[in-house]
Amino acid sequence: MATKQVVDIDYTKYNFRDSDEGYEYKFPKGLTKEVVERISKIKKEPEWMRDFRLRSYDHFMKRPLPMWGGDLTHLQFNDMLYYASPTEKKSRSWEDVPPYIKDTFDKLGIPEAERKFLGGVGAQYESEVVYHSLREDLAKKGVLFTDTDTALREYPEIFRKHFATVVPLEDNKFAALNSAVWSGGSFIYIPEGVSVDVPLQAYFRINTANMGQFERTLIIADKNSRVHYIEGCTAPIYSTESLHSAVVEIIAKPGAHVRYTTIQNWSNDVYNLVTKRAYAYADATVEWVDGNLGSKLTMKYPSIYLLGPRAKGEILSVAFAGKNQHQDAGGKVVHMAPYTTSRITSKSISKDGGRTTYRGLLHVAKGATGVKSTVRCDALLMDEISRTDTYPYNEINADDATITHEATVGKIGEDQLFYLMSRGLSEQEALSMIVMGFMEPFTKELPMEYAIELNRLIQLEMAGSVG
């Protein structure tokens, strides 16, 4: 039977866990000022960073939970682990990574991917980055790709000049939380005029139950440089909640081109609350390609501030919500300068009572003439019990802006299924094909290996959808 090729994928690939007994550090649960100080101390950070963390902690404590978006009432901050480190050392050679962690990333296919098509790889396990490498020729050109803690130590000037300038600690409650307890993440600096032709990649893995992962990523693309950064995330399945709250900052200086691709496949007990923001200066381009599968609740709205003339922003996202899942995602573009253009494309799929929300903001500042923007959201409902909502907000303060907004909600028709099945495809194959076709505008932007992986994950999510 041809259905075999659909169900032949082994989801347990992601659902395994390692023992955390031999960890170098594993903090008690809960967040206190002492926890924040201890993280800073372990990392031997300069005073300014410790102060920054403590100010962030204060802000986090007094900032109320957002009243909009997904349901956060069950999120127990005091049940979370805020720091855990399996090993003190970071390895530059794959051989030096502790065997059980190596095994984890082997299972996830990371070293293989590196050999095949990547210019550099970082792998983060719990709070700390355990492995990092960068292709030699890129290093020679002055490209920096390291974990964020190392960057703070080794490149203090460039780090401090840019850190938290795009997402200030007061931005929102979760940005404040990340600012207080951040650990790991990627730091990338591309020098002026340097074009990195192969993607740089990082992989994040939560292993322990109730673990919070708070990586902090900072990408600085100097004038007329070019880079594509890819990130993947997974966690095993626990019955209690974990929290992923990252902050990503991108600075694209004049003429630079930055693409950031994420495929997140969290297990369905993870709260995924992420702040991602980019500044694009004159003639720069920033592209967020953002795929969200899994998690209990995702709240994520990648944003782009178009600060210089002719800057371009593109947000392309796809969200898949299954049973007991809520994907509250979208995008935000702020046009601050004339002749800036943007495009937001959002695709969502809801199934088995899952819920997707598109939440978008389009802002055109006064004086930003000649702005063009296109927003398109397409939702696909797989059954009667699933739900989708669209909340587009437009604040247009320029008379000559060209704005188009299109939203569609679709269901898979009986006739479409009949048509595909009449060609020999099983109901499940036909459903998968329609869903993958629906996501094609997204998938075609991914490197091939990721497109294949994403299609597999979708087929997996679709498996069992036929009674």
Q: Note the residues at the interface with another protein (CB under 8 A).
A: 1-2, 4-5, 8, 413-416, 418-427, 429-430, 433-434, 436-441
Judged by CB, which is closer to another protein: 5, or 397? 5
Q: Are 249 and 303 in contact (CB under 8 A)?
A: no
Q: What's the Cα-to-Cα distance from 373 to each of 313, 317, 339, rounded to whole Å?
A: 9, 16, 10
User: Between helices 173-181 and 33-42, what is the axis angle to 10°?
Assistant: 50
Q: Are 464 and 39 in contact (CB under 8 A)?
A: no
Q: How far is the CB of 2 from another protein (least distance, A)?
A: 4
Q: What is the chain's length?
A: 467
Judged by CB, which is closer to another protein: 165, or 408? 408
- The DSSP 8-state label assigned to residue 246 in this structure reads -
Q: How far is the CB of 425 from another protein (least distance, A)?
A: 6
Q: What's the Cα-to-Cα distance from 129 to each of 92, 122, 125, 243, 300, rounded to whole Å?
A: 11, 7, 6, 18, 23
Q: Are 259 and 289 in contact (CB under 8 A)?
A: yes
Q: How far is the CB of 393 from another protein (least distance, A)?
A: 28
Judged by CB, which is closer to another protein: 78, or 422? 422
Judged by CB, which is closer to another protein: 333, or 435? 435
Q: How far is the CB of 400 from another protein (least distance, A)?
A: 32
Q: How far is the CB of 454 from another protein (least distance, A)?
A: 13
Q: Count CB atoms within 10 A of the CB of residue 338.
A: 18
CA separation for the pair 295, 235 (Å, rounded): 9
Judged by CB, which is closer to another protein: 42, or 421? 421
CA separation for the pair 333, 342 (Å, rounded): 7
Q: How far is the CB of 47 from another protein (least distance, A)?
A: 54
Closest to 79 measured CA to CA, from 210, 214, 176, 207: 210
Q: Are 307 and 52 in contact (CB under 8 A)?
A: no
Find the distance separating the first CA and the last CA of the chain, reported in whole Å. 17
Judged by CB, which is closer to another protein: 35, or 439? 439
Find the radius of gyration of the CA atoms of the chain: 22
- The DSSP 8-state label assigned to residue 337 in this structure reads S
Which amino acid belongs to residue 467?
G
Q: How far is the CB of 417 from another protein (least distance, A)?
A: 8
Q: How far is the CB of 440 from another protein (least distance, A)?
A: 3
Structure tokens that stand for 438 in this block: 């629906």
Judged by CB, which is closer to another protein: 20, or 427? 427
Structure tokens that stand for 312 in this block: 């371009």
Judged by CB, which is closer to another protein: 16, or 419? 419
Task: Find the DSSP H helices in 146-232.
Answer: 148-154, 156-162, 173-181
**SS3 at position 339:** coil
Q: How far is the CB of 257 from another protein (least distance, A)?
A: 26
Judged by CB, which is closer to another protein: 99, or 424? 424
